[in-house]
Structure 1
Amino acid sequence: MNDAFTPAITLTTEELKRIGDLLYRWTGMIFGEKKRYYIERRVGERMARNQIADARTYLSLVSGHTGEREALINAFTINETYFYREKHQLAALAREILPEIVRTKRPGDLVRIWSMPCSTGEEAYSIAIWLLENWPLVDAYHIEIVGSDIDTHALTQAREGRYGKRALARLPAVVAESYFEPERNHRRQIIEDLRESVHFAPANIIDGPSLAPLGRFDVILCRNLLIYFDDESRRIAAENLYACVAPGGYVCLGHSESMARMSDRFTMARLEDAIVYRRP
């Protein structure tokens, strides 16, 4: 919804705290008084969508309605991403991580990679493109790439795989030509073969039971998510990452994140291109 048409609302201190508590419980992310304007704008959008004028009435709705809860979470997620983001980790994946992973596998064996959060798909598709371009053994193994996010609207966009110039700005022109359809309406779509090779599924990193159906992964890229969490949510997330990565598998965090502050269950590995964390 355009902000110009979103009715201005003012939440009481109690209402603001209630919204913050709900979002923290559902997502692990911190939203408090310092983000009052952002919270009021997002909640105001949802109230307008539901034709509700009173914040207490909306709080009652969102507390008991799964669909509205999902919509509110979607409204608060941050989907800042682009292709080949933090590509030094992609380089590490092809040069050192995957060669080590397949050392104990046979040709044709399954290798599972998880991008969490994947936002609108750029990071998950980046993994697929990078490996096709830079890992000579990509066709020797069954590579399964899964992208997950708590934002279901972002996942819908990821499955469609349509992107504007800003998202593609860091891709070499030859790569864009190889893996994207010609531009239409200022957007380019990932080619069908690549769209079908990446699976997208919703996931909440602080909800362990909901992650179990995804199984275990050889490599997890969980980048620039935990900076929005407090210490307790980070601890829970680290435990869930440990449960989701196979023994001997790797976890890659964002450049400003450190597993050492969250869990002592991983072993830090200093690779040529990146610092990563390994489950013993």
Structure 2
Amino acid sequence: MAVAFTDEEFRLWAEWLAEEFGHRWGPERRGILRTRLEPRRAALGLDSFDALLFHLRFHPEREAERERLLPHLTNNESYFCRERGSLDVIAGEVMPELAKRLGGAQAQVMSAACATGEEAYTLSILARERGLFTAPGSLRVTGVDVDPQALERARAGVYGEHAFRGTELPWRERFFTPQDEKTWEVRPAVREPVRFRAGNLVQDGWWRGLAPQHLVLCRNVMIYFDEASVLRAARGLWEALAPGGYLFLGHAESLRHVPVPFELHRRPGSLFYRRPLEGA
């Protein structure tokens, strides 16, 4: 028998998800939210969605259950070389500028909300294609995501055909090793500078323990955030960036109305933000 998802339960869930993860669940997405919550409610044998929320908030095993629920709530859709306009600017302008400015110091690059890792490995590949940061230890790419299951897949570095839909076969053959007819594994040289760690972009301090970042990609995640969460995420990204650092968002995202003093830059097919250099 179907279990009702009441108006009050939806309101409480929407408020909790906004507070914990920054997710925006408007009334038009109520049915989607119910569908995504239902597998965990049923698996736990709970008789209401209110009971599931109580379990996630107060049960001794709540952290483990949140890890199980997150893949149902987050959109881990990603693929290699996504949004080519931004990648062309990064490879043709940003990375050469960083290589010149850093003068051999390690470049710190981040894929924020990295999902299953395609973007993080793409950044490593871009540097190799341009012959930049080739010395051992000259590049560190950090992928950050809230979903531990997505991070496990990212660390494994094994991908199916769907992840390569933005690329050509010769490109794949240069940077990946076939495992069987359907899967490919990231080659060691591409994998070497890449690390992954857990982090929630709407929680204070997620950037602590990381070196100041020279380039951050945070694409196609803030479109799911409410207004307050966008502000929290923008402030966190500001803190994560080194002075002069670059920030690329998705093509449908903007910080136009966010009171964080990024500089906006435009290029054909792309726009990006910078944290100003100190003293600028």
TM-score scaled to structure 2, two decimals?
0.91
1:217 aligned to 213, 219, 238, which one? 213
Q: Say whether 1:68 aligns with 2:65.
A: yes
Q: Distance in 2 between matches of 1:261 and 1:172?
A: 38
Paired residues of 1:9 and 1:41 also in contact (CA < 8 A): no
CA deviations over 1:159-210 (Å, ceiling 9, x no partner): 1112111211222211211221224252222223433431011111111223
Aligned to 1:45: 39
Aligned-pair CA distance for 1:224: 0.8
Instruction: Report matched runs for 1:155-174 at 5 Å.
Output: 155-174=151-170
**1:3 corresponding residue in structure 2:** none
- Partner letter of residue 153 of structure 1? Q
Residue identity opposite 1:58 in structure 2:
L
TM-score (norm 1): 0.91
* Counterpart contact for 1:9–1:40, Cα < 8 Å: no
Structure 1 position 129 matched with structure 2 position 125: yes
What RMSD over aligned residues (CA atoms) do the two structures have, in Å? 1.8
Hey, what does 1:233 align to over in structure 2?
Answer: 229
Q: Which amino acid aligns with 1:37?
A: G
Runs of 4+ displaced beyond 6 Å: none
Residue 205 of structure 1 is matched in structure 2 by 201
Aligned residue for 1:163, secondary structure, equals strand
* Identical pairs, percent: 32
Q: Which amino acid aligns with 1:127?
A: L
1:27 aligns with 2:21: yes
Q: 1:92 aligns with which of 89, 92, 103?
A: 89
Q: Is residue 17–residue 32 contact of structure 1 (8 Å, CA) maintained in 2?
A: no
Residue equivalent to 2:243: 247
CA separation of 1:264 and 1:209: change in aligned 2, threshold 3 A: closer
Cross-structure match for 1:138 = 133
**Alpha-carbon distance between aligned partners in 1 of 2:112 and 2:237, rounded to the nearest angstrom:** 10
2:257 corresponds to 1:261: yes
The count of aligned residue pairs is 272
Residue 120 of structure 1 corresponds to which residue in structure 2?
116
Per-residue Cα deviation, 1:119-154 (whole angstroms, up to 9, x for no partner): 111111111112211x23231571100111111111
SS class of match (1:154): helix
In structure 2, what residue type is equivalent to 1:137?
L
- The one-character-per-residue Cα deviations of 1:44-95 (angstroms, maximum 9, x if unpaired) are 1111222323333222111121221232233200011111001221211121
Letter in 2 for 1:59: L
Distance 1:45 1:185, change over 3 A: farther
Q: Which has a greater percent of helix?
A: 1
Q: Note the residue ranges of structure 2 that are not aligned, 5 or more in a row.
A: none
Please give the alpha-carbon distance, in whole angstroms, between the structure 2 residues aligned to 1:28 and 1:191: 35
CA distance in 2, matches of 1:139, 1:220: 20
Q: Secondary structure at the match of 2:243?
A: strand
Q: Distance in 1 between matches of 2:132 and 2:193?
A: 17
Distance in 2 between residues matched to 1:149 and 1:267, nearest whole Å: 25
Separation in 1 of the partners of 2:48 and 2:3? 9
In the superposition, relative to structure 1, how do residues 273 and 77 fare at CA in structure 2: closer, same or farther (>3 Å)?
same
Change in 2 beyond 3 A, CA 1:247/1:26: same
Shift of 1:97: 1.0
Cα distance in 2 between the residues matched to 1:98 and 1:192: 21
Question: Structure 1 residue 113: deviation in Å?
Answer: 0.4
